[in-house]
Amino acid sequence: MTTMAPITSQEESVDPRDPLLRLTNFFDEGSMSLLHTRDKSGVQAAVGRVKGVRTISYCTDGTVMGGAMGVVGCAHIVNAIDTAIAEQAPIVGIWHSGGARLAEGVEALHAVGKVFEAMVRASGYVPQISVVVGFAAGGAAYGPALTDIVIMAPAGRVFVTGPDVVRSVTGEQVDMESLGGPLTHGKKSGVSHITADSEPDALWRARRLIGMFSQQGHFSRQRAEAGDTDLRALLPESNRRAYDVHPVVHGLLDTDLAADGETEISSFEEIQPKYAPNIVVGFGRLSGRSVGVVANNPLRMGGCLNSLSAEKAARFVRLCDAFGIPLIVLTDVPGYLPGVGQEWDGVVRRGAKLLHAFAECSVPRVTLVTRKIYGGAYIAMNSRALGATAVFAWPGSEVAVMGAKAAVGILHKKALAAAADDEREALHERLAVEHEAIAGGVGRAQSIGVVDEIIDPAKTRSIVAEALASAPARRGRHKNIPL
């Protein structure tokens, strides 16, 4: 049974690793109660409020054996997770741990395994967020990895085996930061979803996400219409020019308040911004309601899908579905990135994850074609065939197997080769126009029902919000396996 222990001022410590200090900094002021009396277990668990939301949290104790996890400490974490499940409350783990306690041997390993089992039981049922503020090494590395969101502070280090072991086994020379620091996991491995500027920033980002998950809000038609603006003006005039999709995402979503409570910022909280940056995913609010955004980014690889971006997007789609968060999919994609490297890297296997994620998805989800959507990527990016709630397109966008000029180059290869040199390009252009009218124009896509409506870019916010608000609210019934 959960017991509440009061906090006394003399328990507070100036040691920045002190779990009471970290938990106090995390919760709303004056709202925290301990789930057990303080001990030498290496773990402290507590309950409190985050932006008014009842939240459970546990913090490994960096002041006791470097936060190493033993039988008693692991039992505290399992109890905290069970409490979150029973109360249907979000749970946040603050990690500073060297892994299982060596002195307790296999008993400690078994106890850590019970923590993992509890995390899997909670998966997809209550939001689980990890904030890595120090080491999360050995067995402790898999704790954050099993949760929904991993936030790393600058001092965070996540690795299964440390530099000394790596050096002795493989001969590789590496330091702790290169092996498991925020840059490594934010850009190379994809383990970290958010890289914070500081420990306070990491805790603030966790608080912000709890709001997205647990205070999802409702769509406001008035707010959506008031925020309508011509989003197409953010794109370059030439359809051949690359652009950064972030301003479009920010323009679509509401604004929010920064950590200081005064400065207005975008409500968009991007996930894994430097990992597979050719696709952008993250949470935000649209007319007052939490939404997830998936967007191709033409600035990176022309916006092509590849193995990593498909896997990244698939995991995010399943995360949103598990917690009933509607999805907005912004598409401007020339297809899947071709090449031997991609095939060997599992683009078929990983690309199938995105297909599966959208086809399985039950939350309302709207797709908007801003410029083009070609080939297999057309299907994968929340197409009508996979059950999209609605598919909208801006005027002049293209929906096709491939670009008209490329298609004509294949379909009319002989005719183009036979044309005189000074006439070939004109013929190519004319055939491309004819082909686009038949197969590539958005009008054709609308006529067969795979695009619902060609919309005014200046009314995108209100139209998308209305489509999501009109759809039945649903939530997926599945866990959130780390794809």
Instruction: Check residue 337 and report its DSSP letter.
Output: P
Indicate the SS3 state at residue 131. strand
Q: What DSSP string describes 85-106?
A: HHHT--EEEEEEE--B-GGGHH
Q: Identify whether the C-beta of residue 42 lies closer than 8 Å to the C-beta of residue 11.
A: no
Among 67, 139, 282, 440, the one annotated catalytic: 139
Q: How far apart are CA 245 and CA 257, in angstroms?
A: 22
Q: How far apart are CA 127 and CA 91, in angstroms?
A: 6
Which stretches of 210-286 are assigned E, i.e. beta strand?
255-257, 264-266, 269-271, 279-286
Residue 137 appears among annotated catalytic residues = no
Count the neighbouring beta carbons within 10 Å of the beta carbon of residue 68: 27
Indicate the SS3 state at residue 443. helix
Residue 139 appears among annotated catalytic residues = yes
Residue 376 appears among annotated catalytic residues = yes
Among 376, 409, 439, 471, the one annotated catalytic: 376
Residues in contact with 415: Cβ distance below 8 Å, sequence separation at least 6, in sequence order: 427, 431
Among 224, 377, 404, 465, the one annotated catalytic: 377
Residues in contact with 135: Cβ distance below 8 Å, sequence separation at least 6, in sequence order: 66, 67, 95, 96, 97, 98, 157
Residue 390 appears among annotated catalytic residues = no
- CA 438-441-446 angle, 5° bins: 100
Which stretches of 27-142 are assigned E, i.e. beta strand?
33-34, 43-50, 53-60, 91-97, 128-137
Among 138, 211, 227, 303, the one annotated catalytic: 138
Q: How far apart are CA 119 and CA 267, in angstroms?
A: 28
Active site residues: 138-139, 376-377
